[in-house]
Amino acid sequence: MATAAPAREILTLSGVVQGVGFRPFAYRLATSLGLVGKVWNQGGDLLIDIQGSPSQLQAYKTQLLANKPTQAQVRALAADTATVIPHRHDFAIVDSTPGAVQGAIPVDLRLCAQCLNELFDPHHRRYRYPFITCAECGPRYSLIRRLPFDRARTSMDAFPQCPACLHEYNDPEQRRHHAQTNSCAACGPALQWYDKHGDLHQNIDPIAAAWQGLSQGQIIAVKGVGGVHLLCDAGNARAVADLRQRKQRPHKPFAIMTLNRASLAGMAEIDDHTEQLLQGADAPIALTRKGPDCDRRLSGVAPQCADIGVMYPYAPIHYLLFHQALRCPADTTWLEQAQPLTLVVTSANLSGEPLITDNAQCLRDLQGVADGFLLHNRDILARSDDSVLQNSQPAIYVRRGRGLAPNVIELAQEGPSVLAFGGFLKNTLCVSQGNRAFVSPYIGDLDRAAACRDLDLTVERLLETLAIQPDLIACDLHPDFYSTQAARRYSERLDVPLLQVQHHHAHCLATMAEAGLRGPVLGLALDGFGLGDDGGIWGGELLWMNGADYRRLGGLRPLPLPGGDSAVREPWRLGVAALLSQGREEDAERLFGAHPGYAMLRQMLAKNVNCPRTSSAGRYFDAAAAILGVRHHTDHEAHAAMALETLCRQTPPTSDASFLFEITSEGALDLYPLLDALTTCEPHAGARLFHDVLVRGLLAWVDWARAKTGVGRIALGGGCFLNRVLRESLTCGLRARGMQVHAPRQMPPNDSGISLGQVWYAYLRAQHQPPAPNAVIETDQPTCV
């Protein structure tokens, strides 16, 4: 029987194909099947030049996808026929080449099970080595200078491999074959211990010193993968209180780190779904319901919250602290057993500043905050805050950071290359190319100079890493946002057009981008603040959208905002404003008259001085919390709303109270009757009443809009949808009415998704959709429900 003539193909794999051990896997598979050729990284993709019989090539492609590395995600595989090269005798991993990024930027991955076992194997040469990794785990994005992902393009280039590590790197039979972060104690990064004065102590075990401090109630700064964290013993109430005082974080909840599920018994409710999230390679913080013993055992960690943020160790340094706390057991059985140690883990920064990554800055800025510093000498080139998600099904992202970003959103169409600058709060950037959008890790609020500098650095890093030259720049409508100002500068510098997108339109567009929607679709945006087309302060909007065009069908009835931003920090001002607007002077006096500024506030409202009006849903939550006496002052975003939701979740649903709202002739949803009703409620019942009536009102509002437009699908967006009660109740009610509901799934519903929405606006605008018909914005007479 004649032997089949050889064939040759060039395979291009896009997706998560770098930094996950794909080249060694492709090598081993080719040699096992007797194929010849080579594999290399190009830009952000993986290329394989493969040659053999047609049946061998088909087997190779089948097994390549079926048995790919655990963390790899192949979004596309293109196979191009090529001319057979005679006299090829082997298969090799060859040097990477530059090129455009069609796939994804490698993200930081948690320590894998095999490396974890080696870390605590006394006979292994990497026993207790704090930087143990392999081809399938460890830091990636945080140490990349540019793609392709090779050691010379990372901060690991400062650590040449010793002969033993180099042998592993070059040996196809080793797990660390072509592992770019490969190192050991003889050649790799090292830990350093500094005391509270910033003095280096060289003749001391850094892990032992850090644990000694934690066991004594101290606060320790620990440099990990994406930045520096502050750690303390979560069970030590005094240590937690000290951390709050030093970090200027009086009430905002902290996250905790425990070794495993068994260690969380009584502190958090962990089901199989949550366990799967926590054990993922991205190792996020999962917000899950508190257990019955949580507030007693973890006093002060998450006050006035129904949920607590939980995470497991993800880097060797974390596991080593738990190992040290148990006095370094010789086996690994302790990894599966319940352990008493619970740590608070929070970003190491001054209040409002970005996460610290630099050793010198850490030692300087955290003097008086940390009692000791566990640092290392591997540079962090890109900061990444821990990712946070809610453990609902599907999971809802609160923040995409380490392990989850930069993330790629597959778009339903191709469009121009866009650089989108997002908004002001919870900022992210988004860069698009073809049918892919690359969303940056969470940058944060742009109210500090350091955060603005971080935005500028992230822009340069993304453009350089992705090798993208933008055709368009997109940003928010608000002229005072730093992101808007930066966008203008880049537009002028690159000489490309600037597109400005209304904030709430962008919220709903982000959801549309995920779902591949072009319209027509209704949009419901509920958040804290965004500049409207009319120059007003919007935040509770019902929209009609088709292509890039949209019309505002209505907003929540505006609330006075006495003192502007001061009212956001002092919700009692909103409570007074809402009640006085309804002529409820006695209630306002009874509930708020004791405030020192009450008399002046009444004069401001009477004279309409510095009292802009807002349709913000977030401010309605604030007003309700103030009227119920839940929170009169706040120290972090959504503080009052979170406290209100906590009380609601502790209370059964109310009976029908739908008379407490109205839909006006202008299409506004009027919730003033609901706020009036809260004056006679105790906090728990009032919190439940507020949520239940709000949902009923929103459902009636959407019914009204559907009747006007004939549109039966809706896109939800805005930070208020992080409220589980609101999101789940509203979604259930809309689906019961036959509505097709789209909510954010790949991006957070808050302002972190704004940049993606801006990109989708540019894509839809490029299609030149016709304007919406005038009939869409016609209204009827008032509707009372």
DSSP structure string for 7-75: EEEEEEEEEE-SSSSHHHHHHHHHHHTT-EEEEEEETTEEEEEEEE-HHHHHHHHHHHHHT--TT-EEE
Domain topology for 191-389: DHBP synthase (3.90.870)
Q: Provide the pLDDT confidence category of residue 417 given band limits of 50, 70 and 90.
A: very high
pLDDT at 16: 87
617-627 and 683-709 helices, crossing angle to 10°? 150
Q: Catalytic: 610?
A: no
Q: How far is CA 149 from CA 43, 76, 78, 507, 645, in A?
A: 8, 19, 21, 33, 44
- Whether residue 717 contacts residue 523, with contact meaning beta carbons closer than 8 Å, is answered with yes
Which run of H or of E encompasses 342?
none
Q: What is the pLDDT of residue 465?
A: 83
Kindly state the average pLDDT of the residues 503-520.
Answer: 97
Question: Does 3.30.70.100 match the CATH number of domain 7-93?
Answer: yes
Whole-number Å distance between alpha carbons of 219 and 200:
17
Alpha-carbon torsion 773, 774, 775, 779, what sign? positive
Select which of 8, 28, 41, 391 is catalytic: 41
CB 69 within 8 Å of CB 28: no
Return d(Cα 65, Cα 75) in angstroms, integer. Answer: 10
* pLDDT confidence of residue 780: 30
The answer for residues whose C-beta is within 8 angstroms of residue 523's C-beta and 6 or more apart is 504, 505, 507, 508, 511, 512, 541, 542, 543, 544, 545, 550, 714, 715, 716, 717
Per-residue pLDDT tens digits for 619-664: 999 999 999 999 999 988 999 999 999 999 999 987 766 679 999 9
pLDDT number for residue 777:
28
pLDDT of residue 412: 94
Q: Are 490 and 419 in contact (CB under 8 A)?
A: yes
Give the whole-angstrom CA distance, residue 357 versus residue 47.
34
- Tell me, what's the pLDDT at 98? 78
How many helices (H) and strands (E) are present in the chain, helices listed first?
23, 31
pLDDT in the model for residue 768: 60
Contact 116, 320 (CB under 8 A): no
- Per-residue pLDDT tens for 457-475? 999 989 988 889 999 999 9
pLDDT of 400 higher than 80: yes
Position 781 pLDDT exceeds 80: no
- DSSP 8-state class, residue 556: B
Q: Mean pLDDT across the stretch 325-353? A: 93
Catalytic residue among 23, 128, 261, 461: 23
The pLDDT value given to residue 394: 87
β-bridge mates for residue 741, sequence order: 714
Q: Are 739 and 706 in contact (CB under 8 A)?
A: yes
Structure confidence at residue 392 as a pLDDT band (50, 70, 90): confident
- Please give the Cα distance from 126 to 135 (Å, whole number): 15
Closest Cα partner for 627 from 583, 674, 558, 662?
A: 674
How many Cβ atoms from other residues are within 10 Å of residue 680's Cβ?
9
Would you call 429 helix, strand, or coil by DSSP? coil
- Average pLDDT over every residue of 735-754: 97
pLDDT reported for residue 770:
40
The residue ranges of every structural domain in the chain are 7-93, 191-389
Confidence of residue 557 (pLDDT cuts 50, 70, 90): very high
Of 393 and 256, the structure prediction assigns the larger pLDDT to 256
Residue 101's pLDDT band (cuts 50, 70, 90): low
Q: How confident is the prediction for the chain on average, in pLDDT?
A: 93
In this predicted structure, the answer to whether residue 104 has a pLDDT above a threshold of 80 is no
In this prediction, residues 183-210 reach a mean pLDDT of 97
Given a cut of 80, whether residue 103 has pLDDT beyond it is no
Active site residue 140: no
Task: In whole angstroms, give the CA distance from residue 51 to residue 31.
Answer: 11
pLDDT the model gives residue 519: 86
pLDDT-derived band at 294 (thresholds 50, 70, 90) equals: very high
Q: Does residue 775 register a pLDDT over 80?
A: no
pLDDT, tens digit, 9 for 90 and up, residues 706-725: 999 999 999 999 999 999 99
Question: Whole-angstrom Cα distance, residue 451 to residue 424?
Answer: 10
Whether residue 180 has pLDDT greater than 90: yes
669-670 sheet: strands from edge to edge = 669-670, 662-663, 783-784
Q: Report whether pLDDT(477) > 90.
A: yes
DSSP H stretches of helix in 280-371 = 294-297, 316-325, 359-365
Mean pLDDT value across residues 684-708: 97
